[in-house]
Amino acid sequence: MVRMVRILTNNGCVSVDPVSKSTARIAGMFDSIAGRYDLLNHVLSAGIDRRWRTRAIRSLQLTGRERVLDLCTGTGDLAIAAVRARVRGWHRDGHRVAFVPTMGNLHAGHLSLIEAARRHGDRFVASIFVNPMQFGPNEDFAHYPRTPTEDERMLAAAATDDEQFHDTKTRQPIT
């Protein structure tokens, strides 16, 4: 059996500390690199990551109504590229695209924004992202209401042309 340990040094003294395998610690490790991951991936791959995404999206030959599920995505680059390609296609076809960003937990006020977007655009895209940056240090980000099933139902009823649901920790789209 292998025992995971981390070596701590303090003024030349070495001590062994068992490595925590807690969910919170592992999530914290991934959260700490998420902001730099895209840049590092791009630099280390010499830009191949972007060319790969472009080719992958092109090879999918999306018609505009598919749902794209980007598994093991990290930061959601492939799903974001799919949405961008779809929107570029709409623009190329002469459509005006309206965008309504939300933090989810949709209600009548959001529906009025959606109706306004429908009046001003030929296509309509909504996003749901509970952005941790919008919360102050004493505000409770963890307890902000999240109702993804109801939000998806409301967006479907509003006949959105595309929806983006983002995980609040990894910031990756969830569709």
- Three-state secondary structure of 109-161: HHHHHHHHHHHHCCEEEEEECCCHHHCCCCCCHHHCCCCHHHHHHHHHHCCCC
Least confident of 53-62, 70-79, 88-97: 70-79
Predicted confidence at residue 49, as pLDDT, reads: 86
3-state helix, strand, coil in the chain (%, to 5): 45, 20, 35
Predicted confidence at residue 171, as pLDDT, reads: 46
Task: Kindly list the catalytic residues.
Answer: 110
Q: How far apart are the first and last CA of the chain?
A: 40
Q: Average pLDDT of the chain?
A: 76
Q: Give the pTM.
A: 0.59
Is the model more confident about 65 or about 44? 44
